[in-house]
Amino acid sequence: MDTVLSYMGDDHDRLDRIFAEYQKQKNYPEASKNLFHEFLTGLYRHISIGRRRFYFRCSRKRPECSSDHVHIVKVLSSKKI
């Protein structure tokens, strides 16, 4: 479990760096488009791993996790990449 948490932490930091770079490049449409796509793709992967590893365990023990999860899935499903 420590390895998964370490990976998730490192991946979160990587996504933070990509997003920060995206914000710096907003005035350069092609660069910002590529960075945003990289960020969004990485975010989907990050969430997918987290969902499989953590959400399903949490939802068995704490039903209130379910409403948060449903909201996140609806928001992400509405985005087009």
Q: What is the pLDDT of residues 20-62, one digit of tens each?
A: 999 999 888 888 899 999 999 999 888 887 766 665 566 566 6
Cα(first)–Cα(last) distance of the chain, in Å?
31
Domains of the chain: total: 1
Report the alpha-carbon distance of residue 9 to residue 2 in Å, rounded.
Answer: 10
Q: Which two three-digit tokens encode residue 61?
A: 């023990």
Report the alpha-carbon distance of residue 3 to residue 57 in Å, rounded.
Answer: 17
Structural domain range at position 69: 2-77
Report the alpha-carbon distance of residue 37 to residue 29 in Å, rounded.
Answer: 12
| Of 10-19, 20-29, 62-71, minimum mean pLDDT range | 62-71
* pLDDT reading at 68 higher than 60: no
Residue 1 has a pLDDT of 47
Query: Given pLDDT bands bounded at 50, 70 and 90, which one contains residue 15?
Result: very high
